[in-house]
């Protein structure tokens, strides 16, 4: 009783006067205040709310026309027994006559005959009898105009004729529950209470004379959803902070790259399946990007014979035109190899988190556009153990406790590995890493070891957000986004 607000008390008393049950509109209070108090009392188990959907109809412009002029079948066929359809069409219009005769035939009021190549409409005995009577549709239209209820079968016909449209509304009744009756029987007294202290009340000393309203700390309170960043944006910001704290600098690249930087510079052979049209988005405008001739020759020699890298290369004739093709980058490793080319002297620790594009069919685990977390450490004496240590540190800061590495293969790293984390009892692969091969680094005069990794962002997000469909990350599901915790 002590936790009830004055509005809640007043509503309980009003319901008591009405015998314990009433529609909100019947209660002697503002409707907004009634519904507000009712929702709080419902959360406390003192009232219940019955809700029923009631169908109501209103006249359309066509329906109003029917009421004023009569139904088309009555208006057009009234006072005739036999007439040429052509004559009616000249008077009322072809479309109106077709509609009127169609409904008249449905009601068995008329039939159509042919005589000497002319079509005639003839009124039946039923038609002669019914055409002067008020039809059920007309009675129903009059009722709708007055806000009265009509038969559902007639309503279906009128809706089909586009004479009425539905405008249902919810009918509510608020009633006292058993607990509500018990509270009412105890006797409710409405008195002035202080529900919120203000400086004025304190200064005036009024608080000494008045009663303070008690609060129920367990009472229901509506959820408040403040504005927040999209979960993917939150995750990207978190990753940025982690790499920055670990001493890395962020770099960025371009969506459109040449095949040279995206593939050739990384020692990916020109006949590699990843270069096929079904795997890569090639551009029409620009269709090619010019490359420095000296640089492209240097990489061509590495592909053909290995150059001065100690490798035998891929042993094929390098296609210069293939290297100039423009594409949407398929990975962000293109950012790191370009950085090494521009900064061949160690040390360097850089990372990027950017979009990449591949020809993937959209399903629960694949998208044609996604993010990749790329990074390198370029310094003297860097080794495979350091690479594993960096990756383990990164994923542990992201909240993954169990991390393991599996041997793998990539054309541009040796040795190579894949990173897996344990989540809900399963091992899930999240990305690849390795040490850049000499064929990748030496053509750019980078002689120190380069530790490199490319990790998936969306897959990590699926795990952290407990999502089993990658498309959910890009749906604008406001309820889902509102209820997600901050990462």
Predicted pLDDT of residue 192: 73
Please give the helix or strand (H or E) that residue 54 lies within, else none. strand 47-54
104 in a domain, yes or no? yes
pLDDT above 80: residue 70: yes
Task: Specify whether 346 is located in the same domain as 246.
Answer: yes
Predicted pLDDT of residue 475: 87
Buried b (16+ CB within 10 A) or exposed e, 125-149: eebeebbeeebebeebbeebeeeee
Predicted pLDDT of residue 194: 77
375 in a domain, yes or no? yes
% of the chain with per-residue pLDDT over 70: 99
Q: What is the mean pLDDT of residues 97-121?
A: 92
Task: Specify whether 349 is located in the same domain as 240.
Answer: yes
Q: Return the ∠ at Cα 184 (arms to 178 and 189), rounded to 5°.
A: 155
Task: Specify whether 366 is located in the same domain as 446.
Answer: yes
**Quick one: pLDDT band at residue 255, thresholds 50, 70, 90?**
very high
Task: Specify whether 474 is located in the same domain as 336.
Answer: yes
The last residue of one of the domains, among 111, 139, 166, is 166
Task: Specify whether 366 is located in the same domain as 478.
Answer: yes
Task: Specify whether 238 is located in the same domain as 370.
Answer: yes
Q: Residue 158's domain spans which residues? A: 58-166
Task: Specify whether 199 is located in the same domain as 90.
Answer: no
289 in a domain, yes or no? no
CATH code of 144's domain? 1.10.10.10
% of the chain with per-residue pLDDT over 90: 68
Sign of CA dihedral 274, 277, 279, 281: positive
Predicted pLDDT of residue 169: 75
pLDDT above 80: residue 2: no
Q: What is the mean pLDDT of residues 353-377?
A: 93
CATH code of 361's domain? 3.30.930.10
338 in a domain, yes or no? yes
Task: Specify whether 239 is located in the same domain as 367.
Answer: yes
What's the mean pLDDT when you consider all of the chain? 91
272 in a domain, yes or no? no
What is the Cα–Cα distance from 467 to 67, expressed in whole angstroms?
Answer: 57
What is the Cα–Cα distance from 238 to 487, expressed in whole angstroms?
Answer: 8
Task: Specify whether 477 is located in the same domain as 339.
Answer: yes
Task: Specify whether 102 is located in the same domain as 182.
Answer: no
pLDDT above 90: residue 374: yes
Comparing 16-25, 70-79, 175-184, 292-301, the range with the smallest average pLDDT is 70-79
Output the 3-class SS for 312-345: CCCCCCCCHHHHHEEEECCCCHHHHHHHHHHCCC
316 in a domain, yes or no? no
**Quick one: pLDDT band at residue 219, thresholds 50, 70, 90?**
low
pLDDT above 90: residue 205: no
222 in a domain, yes or no? no
The HSE-up count of residue 249 (CA atoms within 13 Å, CB side) is: 8
Tokens representing residue 460 in the block: 């990590």
Give the phi and the psi of residue 169 in degrees, each rounded to 5. Answer: -145, 155
368 in a domain, yes or no? yes
Task: Specify whether 365 is located in the same domain as 409.
Answer: yes
pLDDT above 80: residue 174: yes
Q: What is the mean pLDDT of residues 441-459?
A: 95
Predicted pLDDT of residue 487: 81
pLDDT above 80: residue 191: no
Predicted pLDDT of residue 486: 84
* Overall number of domains in the chain: 3
Tens-digit pLDDT profile for residues 30-69: 999 999 999 989 988 999 999 887 778 899 999 999 988 8
Task: Specify whether 242 is located in the same domain as 196.
Answer: no
């Amino acid at each position: 009783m002590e936790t009830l607000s004055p509005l809640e008390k007043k509503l309980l008393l009003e319901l008591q006067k009405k015998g314990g049950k009433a529609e909100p509109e019947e209660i002697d209070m503002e409707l907004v205040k009634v519904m507000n108090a009712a929702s709080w009392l419902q959360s406390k188990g003192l009232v219940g709310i019955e809700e029923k959907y009631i169908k109501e109809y209103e006249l359309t412009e066509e329906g109003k026309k029917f009421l004023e002029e009569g139904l088309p079948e009555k208006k057009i066929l009234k006072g005739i027994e036999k007439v040429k359809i052509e004559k009616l069409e000249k008077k009322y219009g072809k479309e109106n006559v077709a509609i009127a005769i169609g409904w008249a035939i449905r009601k068995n009021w008329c039939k159509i005959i042919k005589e000497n190549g002319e079509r005639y409409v003839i009124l039946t005995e039923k038609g002669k009898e019914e055409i002067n009577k008020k039809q059920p549709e007309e009675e129903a239209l009059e009722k709708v105009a007055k806000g009265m209820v009509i038969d559902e079968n007639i309503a279906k016909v009128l809706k089909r004729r586009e004479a009425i449209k539905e405008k249902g509304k919810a009918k509510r009744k608020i009633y006292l529950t058993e607990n509500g009756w018990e509270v009412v029987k105890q006797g409710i007294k409405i008195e002035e209470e202080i529900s919120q202290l203000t400086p004025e009340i304190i200064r005036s000393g009024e608080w000494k004379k008045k009663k303070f309203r008690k609060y129920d700390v367990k009472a229901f309170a509506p959820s408040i959803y403040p504005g927040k960043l999209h979960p993917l944006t939150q995750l990207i910001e978190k990753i940025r902070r982690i790499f920055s704290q670990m001493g890395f600098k962020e770099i960025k690249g371009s969506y459109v790259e040449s095949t040279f930087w995206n593939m050739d510079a990384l020692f990916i052979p020109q006949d590699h399946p990843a270069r096929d049209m079904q795997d890569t988005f090639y551009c029409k405008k620009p269709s090619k990007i010019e490359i420095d001739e000296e640089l492209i020759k240097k990489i061509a020699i590495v592909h053909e014979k290995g150059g001065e890298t100690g490798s035998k290369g891929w042993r094929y004739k390098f296609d210069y035109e293939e290297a100039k093709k423009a594409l949407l980058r398929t990975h962000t490793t293109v950012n790191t190899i370009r950085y090494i080319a521009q900064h061949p002297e160690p040390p360097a620790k850089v990372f990027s988190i950017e979009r990449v594009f591949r020809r993937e069919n959209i399903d629960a685990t694949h998208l044609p556009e996604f993010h990749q977390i790329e990074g390198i450490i370029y310094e003297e004496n860097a080794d495979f153990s350091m690479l594993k240590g960096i990756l383990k540190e990164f994923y542990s800061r992201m909240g993954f406790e169990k991390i393991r590495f599996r041997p793998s293969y990539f054309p541009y790293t040796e040795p190579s590995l894949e990173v897996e984390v344990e989540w809900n009892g399963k091992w899930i692969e999240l990305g690849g890493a390795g040490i850049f091969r000499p064929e990748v680094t030496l053509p750019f005069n980078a002689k120190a070891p380069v530790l490199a990794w490319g990790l998936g962002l969306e897959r990590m997000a699926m795990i952290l957000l407990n999502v089993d469909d990658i498309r959910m990350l890009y749906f604008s599901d406001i309820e889902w986004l509102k209820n997600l915790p901050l990462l």
